[in-house]
Amino acid sequence: MPELDGFKERLVYLRLWFGVVVVSELSLIGWLASALETASARLLYLAVGGMMVLGLGVLLLHRMITRSIERIRSL
């Protein structure tokens, strides 16, 4: 049972970070939409790069969460 509890705790932790990354990306998208006309080109490029990095983080965390769920199911 302790092993199962450890997997569940890891899953909860991953889901927390998944939420943080998704909210960060949505906030960045909102800022980008509102500051598109007034922000400098450098800042816009950084925002797009940040969106790509956060998007990659969402995908990686999703895969880790899926694997954790499958591992819990197999126990």
The pLDDT value given to residue 31: 96
Which pTM was predicted? Answer: 0.86
The pLDDT value given to residue 75: 81
The pLDDT value given to residue 4: 87
Domains in the chain, number = 1
pLDDT in tens, 2-61: 888 889 999 999 999 999 999 999 999 999 999 999 999 999 999 999 999 999 999 999
Is the pLDDT confidence value at 68 over 90?
yes
> Which residue range is the domain that position 16 belongs to?
2-74
Which long-range CB contacts under 8 A does 59-63 form with residues at least 24 apart? Answer: 61/14, 61/17, 61/18, 61/21, 62/18
CA-nearest of 34, 60, 59, 58 to 47 is: 34
